[in-house]
Amino acid sequence: MKKSLTATVSWVGKVDWDLTHFHGDEYSTHKGSSYNSYVIEEGKTVLVDTVWKPFAKEFVDNLEAEGLLGKLDAIVAQHAESDHSGAMPELLRRRPDLPVYCTANGVKSLRGHYHQDWDFHVVKTGDELDLGNGKKLVFVEAPMLHWPDSMFSYMTGDAILFSNDAFGQHLATEKLFNDLVDQDELYDEAIKYYANILTPFSALVKAKIDFVLSLKLPLNMIATSHGVIWRDNPAQIVLKYLEWCQDYREDRVTILYDTMWEGTRALADTFARAISDASPSTTVVSHCLSKFDKNDALTDVFRSKALLLGSPTVGKGLLTAVAGTLEEIKGLRFTGKKAAAFGTYGWSGESVGIIGSALKAAGFDVVDDGFKALWNPDDEALKAAYEYGKAFAAKVT
């Protein structure tokens, strides 16, 4: 139900404790999520975003129970993805007179999803919605953060930036604000969200943050559409985004692989030991992709300066867990990272070449031809793997 951000701004969203996957099955949400919707009650009563469709009736019923449904003067639809627009059909069925403020791309997306001709009011950067009481919402188009239709809305007076997906986290909590939750959990979910959703749009993130900062607006809160609201030092997440959007890397190496009969795993374990021995300051993590969470693995890639990706050759190709992860890596368009491939084989041995070419095409600086071992690696092959791991550590410093 309704929770206050300020005297006139409230959260009216939905905490989804049971969500285990988001974007279909593409993004693991170990900590659930929330769909944050806000209501502004000034001279006008304005709703900012809604919730996902399964919670549509509950959401609109809650607005009615709070005495808000009949009071609303407008809805601002900052983003048409269904986790934020999913309750619009139910809301507008019960309040068909409500004007909908969104971008031109928002009209296309909302029509594409719901096939309705609502009372759309197209806005662009700098346009304003008068809220009464001397306050207004100023709109800032934010294409590709996260879809072409996305926009931010800045509320003057209360100095709240409604940022929709940007600065969000998939974190279910009854605590509304960033200072009230476990800080490590919050950081982990914020960086996972950036790594898995926003990485391909990093250049646009940088440009949009630079633009918003150039306006030199006061900022009391960043009210995101997922997770907590940043009220304690809201600039901290903006500064983190500025780090993350510019070839982000830590002194970290990630090894990802899958294995059929433990041969490729033996190589991965040997590389982990060799890199740690050669570069004690480097954090090395190694994950078997058929057993480890894919999105957590991709977060490790995002944090790393280098990736070793391995698969045995099977049917002249790769194990499917590795092939699927490569597809995600291609789409995420990581920048500023080095990489190499490895794997065992019995006869034809294509996997290392396939992985190396795919990593290169995905924008990685592939430092060498990778490491292959015939059949199950013997002591001699493991010694060679150890030397390869040490050499790789030197190449990626």
Rounded (5°) CA angle 79-82-86: 105
Which stretch in 39-47, 63-71, 80-88, 229-237 sits in contact with ligand FEO by CB under 6 A? 80-88
Which stretch in 79-87, 96-104, 249-257, 367-375 sits in contact with ligand FEO by CB under 6 A? 79-87
Task: Determine, following the binding rule CB under 6 A, whether residue 83 of this chain makes contact with ligand FEO.
Answer: yes
Which stretch in 9-17, 70-78, 81-89, 243-251 sits in contact with ligand FEO by CB under 6 A? 81-89
Catalytic residue among 41, 49, 81, 258: 81
Contacts of ligand FEO in 99-158 (CB under 6 A) = 146-147
- Decide if 226 is catalytic: yes
Catalytic residue among 226, 258, 300, 388: 226
- Decide if 79 is catalytic: yes
3-state secondary structure the chain: CCEECCCCEEECCEEECCCCEECCCCEECCCCEEECCEEEECCCEEEECCCCHHHHHHHHHHHHHCCCCCCCCEEECCCCCHHHHCCHHHHHHHCCCCEEEECHHHHHHHHHHHCCCCEEEECCCCCEEEEECCEEEEEEECCCCCCCCCEEEEECCCCEEEEECCCCCCCCCCCCEHHHCCHHHHHHHHHHHHHHHHHHHHHHHHHHHHHHHHCCCCCCEEEECCCCEECCCCHHHHHHHHHHCCCCCCCEEEEEECCCCCHHHHHHHHHHHHHHHHCCCCEEEEEECCCCCHHHHHHHHHHCCEEEEECCCECCECCHHHHHHHHHHHHHCCCCCEEEEEEEECCCCCHHHHHHHHHHHCCCEECCCCEEEECCCCHHHHHHHHHHHHHHHHHCC
Q: Which one, 85 or 351, has the nearer CB to ligand FEO? A: 85
Among 81, 149, 258, 300, binds ligand FEO (CB under 6 A): 81
Looking at residue 373, its amino acid is A
- Decide if 121 is catalytic: no
Which stretch in 77-85, 207-215, 293-301, 348-356 sits in contact with ligand FEO by CB under 6 A? 77-85
Q: Which one, 83 or 141, has the nearer CB to ligand FEO? A: 83
Q: Are strands 45-48 and 151-155 parallel, antiparallel or unpaired?
A: unpaired
Task: Determine, following the binding rule CB under 6 A, whether residue 189 of this chain makes contact with ligand FEO.
Answer: no
CB of 395 to ligand FEO, least distance (A): 37
Task: Determine, following the binding rule CB under 6 A, whether residue 49 of this chain makes contact with ligand FEO.
Answer: no
Task: Determine, following the binding rule CB under 6 A, whether residue 225 of this chain makes contact with ligand FEO.
Answer: yes
CB 346 within 8 A of CB 317: no
Catalytic residue among 42, 90, 101, 146: 146
Task: Determine, following the binding rule CB under 6 A, whether residue 170 of this chain makes contact with ligand FEO.
Answer: no
Q: Which one, 101 or 201, has the nearer CB to ligand FEO? A: 201
- Decide if 21 is catalytic: no
Task: Determine, following the binding rule CB under 6 A, whether residue 192 of this chain makes contact with ligand FEO.
Answer: no
Catalytic residue among 27, 101, 154, 193: 193
Task: Determine, following the binding rule CB under 6 A, whether residue 79 of this chain makes contact with ligand FEO.
Answer: yes
Q: Which one, 28 or 283, has the nearer CB to ligand FEO? A: 28
- Decide if 193 is catalytic: yes
- Decide if 23 is catalytic: yes
Beta partners for residue 137, in sequence order: 129, 155
CB of 76 to ligand FEO, least distance (A): 15
Task: Determine, following the binding rule CB under 6 A, whether residue 165 of this chain makes contact with ligand FEO.
Answer: yes
Please give the positions annotated as active site: 23, 79, 81, 83, 146, 165, 193, 226
The residues of the shown chain that bind ligand FEO, judged by CB under 6 A, are: 79, 81, 83-84, 146-147, 165, 225-226
